[in-house]
């Protein structure tokens, strides 16, 4: 690289460091009123979707679809708001790089955006356990040969409607807390409910065998 090239690089680096120091110094006093709430929402969602522990200004601009903006002043206001809300934390030694701090929150664009992640997970687990258990009950009733065809069809319709609600709820939860977390909760709900059902069936099976044996002895 030529001496002029090195000089230009050093100058740009110095300019970025100066801009960074100015940004940090102005953070407590910046007027954030001109900030666009729609663009802020896009940045918030981009941070939530990031799988990294840190993010740069450039990466956040690209993730939020704002990299086409030539002016960085407005975008820095968005960054300042994220820092003030303790979603991002400046990495002092790396200009315009930020640690992503808040992880226990829901997708800002989901139906549960205002809900606490842990509370939402607990409520969803309870509701979905009840629905999954009821799906098992309805499936068992469909297999009951004593029921009329009309009644069986009614139960099938009830089960179909409940299945749609069950699946839609998992999709909403996945959108709110992420697919991996939602899949883990679903797996736990279904495995635990099925195991409980098996435990309940065993004593009933033993009782039925005992009753049959007693009936056979009485008939001898």
**Residues β-bridged to residue 198:** none
- The ranges of the chain with pLDDT < 50 are 1, 204-220
Q: Which long-range contacts (CB under 8 A, 24 or more apart) does 120-129 make?
A: 120/173, 120/176, 120/177, 121/173, 121/177, 121/181, 121/185, 124/169, 124/173, 124/185, 125/185, 125/188, 125/189, 127/169, 128/166, 128/169, 128/170, 128/185, 128/186, 128/189, 129/189, 129/192, 129/193
Q: Which two tokens stand for residue 126?
A: 């309870």
The pair phi, psi for residue 125, each rounded to 5°, is -60, -45
Q: Which two tokens stand for residue 64?
A: 């939020």
Segment 105-151, tens digit of pLDDT: 777 777 676 677 788 888 889 999 999 999 999 998 998 889 899 99
The pLDDT assigned to 88 comes to 93
pLDDT at residue 201 in the model:
59
The answer to whether the predicted template modeling score (pTM) of the entire model surpasses 0.85 is: no
CA distances in angstroms from 144 to 29, 48, 152, listed in the order given? 71, 48, 8
As beta bridge partners, residue 88 has: 100
CA within 13 Å, CB half, 71: 4
Query: For the chain, how far is it from start to end, CA to CA, in angstroms?
Result: 105
Distance CA 107, CA 175 (A): 7
**What's the pLDDT at 13?**
85
Q: What pLDDT score was predicted for residue 39?
A: 86
β strands within the chain, DSSP E: 54-56, 88-90, 97-100
Provide the pLDDT for residue 102.
67
């Amino acid at each position: 690289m030529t001496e002029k090239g090195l000089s230009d690089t050093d100058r740009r680096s110095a300019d970025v460091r100066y801009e960074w120091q100015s940004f940090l110094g102005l953070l407590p006093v910046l007027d954030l009123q001109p900030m666009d709430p729609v663009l802020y929402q896009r940045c918030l969602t981009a941070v939530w979707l990031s799988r990294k522990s840190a993010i740069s200004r450039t990466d956040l601009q690209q993730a939020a679809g704002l990299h086409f903006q030539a002016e960085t002043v407005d975008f820095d206001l968005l960054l300042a708001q994220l820092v003030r809300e303790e979603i991002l934390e400046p990495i002092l030694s790396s200009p315009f790089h930020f640690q992503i701090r808040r992880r226990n929150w829901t997708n800002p664009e989901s139906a549960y955006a205002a809900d606490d992640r842990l509370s939402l997970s607990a409520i969803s687990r309870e509701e979905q356990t009840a629905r999954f258990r009821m799906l098992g009950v309805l499936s068992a009733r469909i297999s009951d040969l004593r029921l009329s065809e009309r009644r069986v069809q009614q139960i099938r319709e009830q089960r179909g409607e409940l299945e749609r609600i069950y699946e839609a709820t998992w999709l909403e939860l996945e959108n709110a807390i992420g697919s991996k977390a939602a899949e883990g909760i679903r797996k736990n709900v279904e495995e635990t409910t099925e195991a409980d059902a098996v435990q309940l069936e065993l004593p009933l099976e033993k009782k039925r065998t005992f009753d049959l044996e007693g009936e056979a002895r009485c008939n001898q």
